[in-house]
Amino acid sequence: MSASVQTAVVGVTGYAGAELARLLLHHPRLKLAPPVFAGRVDAKDEARGGIPLTEIHPQLGGSSFGDLRMDNFSWELLAERGVEVLFLATPHEQSRSWVPEALTRGLRVIDLSGAWRLEQTANRAVYGFDDEGTKAAMATQAQAVYGMPELHRAQIAGARLVANPGCYATSVILALKPLVGAGLVDLGRGIVADSKSGVSGAGKAPTAKTHFMYAADNLSAYGVFSHRHTGELLEQIGLEGSQIVFTPHLLPIPRGILSTIYVHFNSAQTAESILAVYRAFFAGSPMVRLYEKVLPQIQYSVRTGYADIGFQVSPDGRRAVIVSCLDNLLKGASSQAVQNLNVMQGWGEAEGLE
């Protein structure tokens, strides 16, 4: 365990990058070691010493942060600043290119992209990586640990490369893994995961389907049978593709995810028996909240680092509807990344997050 660590963030200009910066700047362990921020800085801004952080995100202004700037990225910059842990809130292709170099230089990496999340070649095919199957890529992939502390806490603690989970995937995996792992779910009957996310889940760059005129007053399904997070569900829950239907939808709200998941049981269950499974699985997991009396809602979890899980069992005890909510920019991205940092450093898992 170390008292502090020097971090760096690449990709601070995005939505998740902004939340990551906010969390790291207020983290109690990092008060004397604010992150190094790096990215693309043109010659004009480089001449004035980088771009002030408050110009990128005015909401991060404060007396103690006013002098922080985003510098032009270089490996030399990270070495000069003594960076030990590198956060990449970058596109998949950029992370795919930079992570091997970072590891070679002795950095520990927490990657918020999907570049290194998937172990199986067939599941990675959806990304179409140019380096797929190369010796270097396979060597890097072998070092990656899927960054969900509730599942892989011990491996994350010693990892050099943590692949932060996808937002949809986090909501579904946390809801299903305890029940599937306990052998309660009738996989032959299939699972349906109906998930809905706010527009920020699509990233900051506007598209024809995320601008206001399309998303407002609308609800649309997309990525049916082809969404990139499907492979994460299969690998982390331990499912075959034929055993789950995962359908994401775009909600006309800024942020938040709600997944409604339908399962059949192998034998009749009670609310008490299901709750006992969840309690046992999430014992020692401070960022998961179990709802016993009411079902979770996006408004309860948005702008928090929690994953909220609730359920109702059918009168015959053979089926259940599970509702899982989280903030896609926090537990679905940046706060889970900080949670992983806490585990890697041997700190309290919820430090800086509650």
CATH of the domain at 62: 3.40.50.720
For residues 321 and 248, state if they share a domain.
Answer: yes
Assess if residue 354 is contained within a domain.
no
Take residue 98 and report the two structure tokens written for it: 């930079």
Please indicate, yes or no, whether residues 186 and 318 belong to a single structural domain of this protein: yes
Q: Do 188 and 316 have their domain in common?
A: yes
Residue 28: domain span: 7-165+333-345
pLDDT in tens, 139-148: 999 999 999 9
Given a cut of 90, whether residue 163 has pLDDT beyond it is yes
- My answer on whether 16 and 66 are in the same domain is yes
Question: Do residues 128 and 153 both lie within one domain?
Answer: yes
CA dihedral over 17, 21, 23, 28, signed as positive or negative: positive
In a shared domain, residues 195 and 171: yes
- CATH number assigned to the domain comprising residue 235: 3.30.360.10
The tens digit of pLDDT for each residue in 103-121 reads: 999 999 999 999 999 999 9
Helices (H) and strands (E) in the chain, counts: 14, 15
In a domain, 124, yes or no: yes
Domain assignment present for residue 351? The answer is no
167 is known as an active-site residue: yes
Six-digit token string for 301: 């979890």
How many C-beta neighbours within 10 Å does residue 67 have? 11
Identify the pLDDT of residue 64. 67
**What is the bridge-based pairing of β-strands 7-10 and 85-88?**
parallel
Q: What is the pLDDT of residues 230-249, one digit of tens each?
A: 999 999 999 999 999 999 99
Shared domain check, 245 and 182: yes
Q: Are 352 and 26 in contact (CB under 8 A)?
A: yes
Residue-wise pLDDT tens digits, 149-159: 999 999 999 99
**Rounded Cα distance, 147 and 233, in Å:** 14
* pLDDT value for 282: 98
pTM above 0.85, yes or no: yes
| 190 and 232 assigned to the same domain | yes
Assess if residue 243 is contained within a domain: yes
Q: How confident is the model at residue 66 (pLDDT cuts 50, 70, 90)?
A: low
What is the rounded end-to-end Cα distance, in angstroms, of the chain? 21
Do residues 190 and 137 both lie within one domain?
no
Number of separate domains in the chain = 2
CA dist., res. 293 & res. 277, Å (int): 17
Say whether pLDDT at 63 is over 80: no
Find all residues with CB under 8 Å of 228, minimum gap 6, and list them. 114, 126, 127, 166
Residue 36 lies in a domain: yes
* 72 assigned to some structural domain: yes
**Rg of the Cα trace of the chain?**
20
pLDDT in tens, 204-223: 887 888 888 888 999 999 99
Residue at token pair 């502090």: 4
Q: Which of 161, 167, 239, 287 is catalytic?
A: 167
CA 196 to chain CA mean position, Å:
16
Is residue 352 in some structural domain?
no
Reading the block at residue 247, the tokens are 């359908």
Do 172 and 159 share a domain, yes or no? Answer: no
